[in-house]
Structure 1
Amino acid sequence: MSGRYRLTPKAADDLKAINDYTARQWGNEQRRKYLGELRHRFRWLAEQPLLGRARPELRDNCYSYPQGEHLIFYAIRSPDIEILSVIHNRSLPDFLRR
């Protein structure tokens, strides 16, 4: 795959909330580190999208992959992936947990 990803408006909102919360709770250094790790994972998933867990119970062509305290939901849109949402583990219903 291309190694490229696109964010949906929902995913962009999720990242903004993660950015704001992490900066407030843990400071700017941790905010930069954690968001960098998320973006690195997005690129990695774009290179190897089938390594995520298929989520047919949610919708066709939906996958998830854990990163830190969050679960990344994405769809394969060849040659890229589309990041659908990034949800904190505490916010997930039981059936979506790792």
Structure 2
Amino acid sequence: MRRLTYLPAAQRDLIEILTYISRQSGSVALGQDFVAWLRRQCRHLAELPGMLGRARPELRPDIRSFTVGNHVIFFRYRDDVFEVVNILEGDRDIDLHLSE
């Protein structure tokens, strides 16, 4: 099984998602539950064999993506590591965000 890691950018994304959902819903618990669900999705992807997701060479040569709900998980495989690069809402300008 691959080891799951989150780059600092992905950790910031999760904090932003938590903050946004908590503010919009008025419930920190709802934000925490959603972020926990996203983390479970990442863990599930890391546990599956083979190379998953869609290759995204237009963004970076080693990046792949997988859509969960209305969010997109961007990740890469590094030997025995499943590295989460970013987690973004699907309607964001992904090209702009990943180029920053």
Report the TM-score, using the length of structure 1 for normalisation.
Answer: 0.83
Runs of 4+ in structure 1 deviating by more than 3 angstroms, as ranges, are none
SS of alignment partner, residue 13 of structure 2: helix
Which amino acid letter does the alignment assign opposite residue 69 of structure 2? G
SS of residue paired to 1:51: coil
Q: How well do the aligned residues superpose, as a CA RMSD in angstroms? A: 1.8
Taking the aligned partners of 1:90 and 1:55, their CA distance within structure 2 comes to 17
Q: For structure 2, which runs of at least 5 residues remain unmatched after alignment?
A: 96-100
Measured in 1, the distance between the counterparts of 2:6 and 2:86 equals 8
- Unaligned 5+ segments in structure 1 are none
Matches within 5 A, 1:1-98: 1-2=1-2, 4-26=3-25, 27-48=27-48, 50-92=51-93
Deviation string for 1:18-66 (max 9, x for gaps)? 0111111121232122111101111111112622111122222211011
Describe the SS at the equivalent of 1:50. Answer: coil
* Cα distance in 2 for residues equivalent to 1:45 and 1:70: 14
Task: Provide the aligned length of Structure 1 versus Structure 2.
Answer: 93
Q: Which amino acid in 2 is paired with 1:5?
A: L
Q: Distance in 1 between matches of 2:34 and 2:87?
A: 13
Determine the C-alpha separation between the residues in 2 that align with 1:84 and 1:66.
Answer: 14
Amino acid in structure 1 at the alignment position of 2:11: A
